[in-house]
Structure 1
Amino acid sequence: MAVLISVERAALALGTAQVLDGVSLGVAGGDRIGIVGRNGGGKTTLLRVLAGDRTVDSGRVARLGGATVGVLTQDDTLDPSATVREVVLGDRAEHVWAGDARIRDVLTGLLGGIDAPAVGGLDSTVDGKSGGERRRLGLAQLLVDDPDVLLLDEPTNHLDVEGVAWLAEHLVRHRSRPDNALVAITHDRWFLDAVATRTWEVVDGQVNGFDGGYAAYVLAKAERERMARVTAERRNNLLRKELAWLRRGAPARTSKPKFRIDAANALIEDVPPLRNDVELMAFATTRLGKDVIDLLDASVAVGDRVLLDRITWHLAPGARIGIVGVNGSGKSTLLRALAGEVPLASGKRKQGVTVRIGHLTQEVRELDRLADKRVIEAVEEVRKVTVLAGKEVTASTLAKRLGFPGPRQQTRVRDLSGGERRRLQVLRILMDEPNVLLLDEPTNDLDIETLTSLEDVLDGWAGTLLVVSHDRYLLERIADEQVALLGDGRVRQLPGGVEEYLRLRATITPSYAVSAPSSAAAPSASQPSSQRQREGSQEEPSALTQGSPASAPTATPAEQREARKVMARVEKQLSKLAQREEKIHAAMTEHVSDHAKVLELNTELRGIVDEREGLELEWLEAAEVLES
């Protein structure tokens, strides 16, 4: 694969911070690279260096002659007077872009089709568009232009779950050629796993490379840390023996640890569950009692538009619910209705006497009055000590867990970044000891490390939890069930989680190219209000009354036998691939100083990875036949 951009021994300082310190890396054709790291750690600066928008203090940055580079920044650079057509399609003749399936896919996936209803039509102007609409226009412009190297800074911002799924599928399909590449900064871990073939971690002026997406990155990083701990523990015990070997003139030998499945299993075999659901449920019931919040035949309207139409929903103590839906469908309104912050057009809202609500909204203006306070003062203003996972935790300790180390706790609130202000909001809410937690897009402006810390905190939090988010990884990580709002005023249960939501949306709105297994169950429909009222009194955990799902088609015995044969064949092929991969890793270790040989072996390794992905997909399709 041709190297499209290469960076050699690059160093760059911003003020007193060394953002890049002797970094060497390359972007080759066919690469899909995800960049992760702490906020302020240098991710965007690295992207600007790759784009040529920022020069390095020392070192060398080279680009393949003739290679085009396109950049999606977080800044709005669109001309307000330009039309959507001019921004996205440029001067292309209509017969040119209308006849190009790739361009039509972009218009459909990001703007809602040729008439672009999502942004007011192709002939509408940029002026007056929302920030999210401008963001989608900028992304659509880049995807239509299709540069050789695509550099994206947080491309999933302002996209819903469905839009993120479409973007991932589009990039995998169009960014796998040997003549193009993708580099994306993202905190969306599902997107990172779905798209990236490599992950770069920017930390302390260095860029550490890992094969694979987020899951592989986490596992490989854990393995590195484990090896470092083992090495440190053994070093003192081996020093005398090592010195004796050296005195006898033993030749120096080095080895490079390989990433193995066995090592991965060893890492996780003794790991306890993410959370003790039984214990948390018991504690939540003790804190909340039997009654939490009920919406009884409730409707909410904004002007002439009905956002919630006669919903009956019983929230149970300890329920952990993720909420997905199209933009503007009423997800935030649903949280506000549950919190009692918006009046109901009809119906009733009931709240248990012991309920204490903590509501994280998308607004940060509530911190304006605390601008002159230090972070720790703003947290301790709420409470100095709280209880988490059955243990007392001080404000300072919890602040440290959520990314405010000792010195940073002395920072004035007015000097915090957007992500830090978001963290402070969460801290203050948790310190207030709510037993019902409503989180509206909690991942906004948070880096992956902070997200992981927040999830760890929520694992030990006992109470009823509802989360609105487009972060699919977060929803599947912390919620035990999901519901969907589709813009029709109803709330639908999703027994199949986010995958079921995407299949449902694909049947309703084919504008998003989301693949769905043929065995997908049909979505359930809401019942008439009279039936909901009759069943609303049933005591079910977080009962959302609605109709029974339609039955999924059942595979015939012959189809099931064929599926078993396919799975057995694929498993044998995967075993052989694993053996080939192990041999290549061993060969790379032996030829570590032979750059040409390593590149040759790496190309062979990439072929194995691609072949394995195809086989795994074939196995999953066969498994779905057996499950139907």
Structure 2
Amino acid sequence: MANLISLELVSLVFGTTHVLDDVSVGVLTGDRIGVVGVNGGGKSTLLRVMAGLQEPDSGRISKQGGADGIRIGMLAQEDALDPVWTVREAVLGDRPEHVWAGDARIRDVLTGLLGGIGAEAMGGLESRVGPKSGGERRRLALARLLVEDPELLLLDEPTNHLDVEGVAWLAEHLATKRPRPGNATVAITHDRWFLDAYATLTWEVEGGAVSAFEGGYAAYVLAKAERDRVAGVVADRRANLMRKELAWLRRGAPARTSKPKFRIDAANALIADEPAPRNSVELASFASRRLGKDVLDLEDATVVLGDRRILDHVTWRLAPGERVGIVGVNGAGKSTLLRALTGEIPLTSGRRKVGKTVAIAHLTQEVRELERFEQWRVIEAIEDVRQWTTLGGKEISAGQLATRLGFPGGRQQSRVGDLSGGERRRLQLTRLLLTEPNVLILDEPTNDLDIETLTSLEDVLDGWAGTLIVVSHDRYLLERVADKQLALLGDGKVRDLPGGVEEYLRLRAAATSAPARSAGSRPSGIPSTPASEPTSSPAEVREARKTMARVEKQLSRLADREERLHGEMATKATDPVALADLNAKLQAVVAEREELELEWLEAAEVVG
């Protein structure tokens, strides 16, 4: 494997912040690197330095073949497409039609990102770039880069504005279609599923340094946990030594003046490489108001916007404490469904019922909600909701809360208009949670949030006592915080997904690969009625309920058996023969449990 690009002792300072501090990294041919780190930590700057768009203050950058060697292409967070271009010019340049139409790789890009050779999803190849939405322009810029196929591809948040299908397609394309001798890809991403599916190496940018970990997100988390464990052992040893040295140095004024210099130097050495405290984020779990038995219901609800029927006679009842994840193609009506639930848009027909004790908080995709606070300080925007709150049984001020949420000291005095996208999103969440809702509706909450903040958010949602509805293209988040998934497939219905996101992708694949149908017909594999309106007979429903009850009892017994096996394995950890036998029994229990869970899901789909 050849070295495509190397950074040697590269440093870059913005103001008083060392964004890059003597960084030495290299990209080899065949590398698929995921870049992670907190917002504002220097990830985008690192890519800009590699692309030659940002000159470092010091250090050396070497490229294969010298200055005129490898081609480098970068997808920045702001696209540079000319608004007068057509879609054809923006993506395909001046390539003749017989060239790009005959190239399977280019056809795959057009299908995966733009909806096919005719780019129907983008209004056709001859439509102009200017009127396109930000998400559409982002897809065009990404498609342009993938068509050009430079040796070194640098992508800054490529999954932004992609739905679940688009993220899955991009991961597969980068992992299977693009790799070949001489190519490499580096992608900044906060999408953990994408990171696992795409990356062979993970770089963490933190405190001006870049640390490398083999593998994707799962491997990175394990390696980081082990590194932190070792660091904890070292820190404990360091703390013990420091206590001894400090005690020795403090033993009386006369003694201090006569201390041997080497002992003072030793004490100073203990703290010489002590890292600065991290700007950590701790999203707090606020007390939620108690929910009654009635939450939110849509009964035979229809929503028509213009000539589009977004919801078509949908009946959906939310239970107290229910946790639902929603997926669907862009434009299928996910945000509209949420706004219908909250009452922000009226129903064309049908009925919306709200429980008496319901307090709804709705995180939308629009950071424009903070526009009226542009000239306010961060602390003022938080105090606008509440100046004092109770956490862990203790009353804390808005300033103390802001510090826990990653706005320490002087950052609290920053103007809201000067915050980064991730910080603005975090401020939105803070204001939302401070209202102490008991129904939390999150529309694409992962936008602009780094992995550390996402992990903190998931920790909050784990302890959420109310009802939770999440729309997201982040598969990791959906499967992590939601107990069930629903899909909007563009036909105005809401469908249950017992098989989760994988089932949704299978349904979409079946729909797109099916032959063309007459207007109004449905793709194969998609039932004509939504799961919320079951057509099973009463006898079938009764039988399915009996099956669910039987399976639940069997699952309970299996859980007890699994727990006992874990206990036995812990006591016989030093006996390899016994451990192997116990492990075989455990695997059999796991396999039986998975079969029972599938049987329960099938019965639940009949019940509806």
Tell me if both proteins adopt one fold, taking TM over 0.5 as the criterion.
yes
1:137 maps onto 2:140 in alignment? yes
Instruction: State which of 93, 100, 103 in structure 1 corresponds to 2:103.
Output: 100
CA contact (8 A) 1:398 1:427 kept: no
- Specify whether residues 527 and 2 from structure 1 end up closer, same or farther in structure 2 by C-alpha distance, changes over 3 A only: closer
Hey, what does 2:16 align to over in structure 1?
A: 16
Q: CA RMSD in A?
A: 3.2
* Structure 2 portions without partners, runs of 5+: 245-283, 515-523, 542-590, 600-608
- Specify whether residues 360 and 235 from structure 1 end up closer, same or farther in structure 2 by C-alpha distance, changes over 3 A only: closer
1:420 maps onto 2:423 in alignment? yes
Q: Displacement, 1:393? A: 6.2
Q: Displacement, 1:237? A: 6.2
Q: How does 1:130-279 map to 2 (within 5 A)?
A: 130-235=133-238
- Specify whether residues 402 and 506 from structure 1 end up closer, same or farther in structure 2 by C-alpha distance, changes over 3 A only: farther
Q: How does 1:507-518 map to 2 (within 5 A)?
A: 507-510=510-513
CA contact (8 A) 1:307 1:330 kept: yes
SS in 2 for 1:225: helix
Counterpart-to-counterpart distance in 2, 1:530 and 1:373? 48
Hey, what does 2:494 align to over in structure 1?
A: 491
- Specify whether residues 389 and 305 from structure 1 end up closer, same or farther in structure 2 by C-alpha distance, changes over 3 A only: farther
CA contact (8 A) 1:81 1:127 kept: yes
Counterpart-to-counterpart distance in 1, 2:93 and 2:23? 37
SS in 2 for 1:294: strand
- Paired residues in the alignment total 497
Hey, what does 2:566 align to over in structure 1?
A: none
1:474 maps onto 2:470 in alignment? no
Counterpart-to-counterpart distance in 1, 2:295 and 2:187? 42
Q: Return the letter of the residue paired with 2:55.
A: T
CA contact (8 A) 1:51 1:69 kept: yes
Hey, what does 1:39 align to over in structure 2?
A: 39
CA contact (8 A) 1:403 1:450 kept: no
Structure with bigger gyration radius: 2
1:410 maps onto 2:423 in alignment? no
Instruction: State which of 297, 319, 339 in structure 2 corresponds to 1:294.
Output: 297
Identity of aligned residues (%): 69
1:363 maps onto 2:366 in alignment? yes
Hey, what does 1:265 align to over in structure 2?
A: none
Counterpart-to-counterpart distance in 2, 1:532 and 1:296? 17
Deviations 1:565-590 (A, max 9, x none): xxxxxxxxxxxxxxxxxxxxxxxxxx
Select between 524-533 and 363-372 the one with higher mean Cα deviation.
524-533
CA contact (8 A) 2:511 2:525 kept: no
SS in 2 for 1:48: helix
SS in 2 for 1:509: helix
Select between 55-64 and 232-241 the one with higher mean Cα deviation.
232-241
Hey, what does 2:57 align to over in structure 1?
A: 57
Q: Displacement, 1:216? A: 1.3
Q: Displacement, 1:534? A: 11
Q: Displacement, 1:79? A: 1.5
CA contact (8 A) 2:496 2:530 kept: no
Counterpart-to-counterpart distance in 1, 2:525 and 2:131? 39
Q: Return the letter of the residue paired with 1:229.
A: G
Counterpart-to-counterpart distance in 1, 2:242 and 2:376? 51
Hey, what does 2:29 align to over in structure 1?
A: 29
Q: Displacement, 1:505? A: 0.6
Q: Displacement, 1:452? A: 1.5
Q: Displacement, 1:235? A: 4.5
Deviations 1:47-67 (A, max 9, x none): 011111222221110110132
Hey, what does 1:258 align to over in structure 2?
A: none
CA contact (8 A) 2:421 2:448 kept: yes
Q: Displacement, 1:397? A: 4.6
Deviations 1:590-610 (A, max 9, x none): xxxxxxxxxxxxxxxxxxxxx
- Specify whether residues 475 and 402 from structure 1 end up closer, same or farther in structure 2 by C-alpha distance, changes over 3 A only: farther
Q: Return the letter of the residue paired with 1:502.
A: L
Select between 2-11 and 94-103 the one with higher mean Cα deviation.
94-103
Q: Return the letter of the residue paired with 1:315.
A: L
SS in 1 for 2:290: helix
Counterpart-to-counterpart distance in 1, 2:26 and 2:469? 42
Hey, what does 1:455 align to over in structure 2?
A: 458
What TM-score, normalized to structure 1?
0.74
CA contact (8 A) 1:104 1:114 kept: yes
CA contact (8 A) 2:196 2:218 kept: yes
Hey, what does 1:588 align to over in structure 2?
A: none
Counterpart-to-counterpart distance in 2, 1:53 and 1:159? 26
- Specify whether residues 318 and 7 from structure 1 end up closer, same or farther in structure 2 by C-alpha distance, changes over 3 A only: same
Counterpart-to-counterpart distance in 1, 2:163 and 2:351? 30
CA contact (8 A) 2:299 2:315 kept: yes
SS in 2 for 1:288: coil
Q: Return the letter of the residue paired with 2:303.
A: V
Q: Displacement, 1:424? A: 1.2
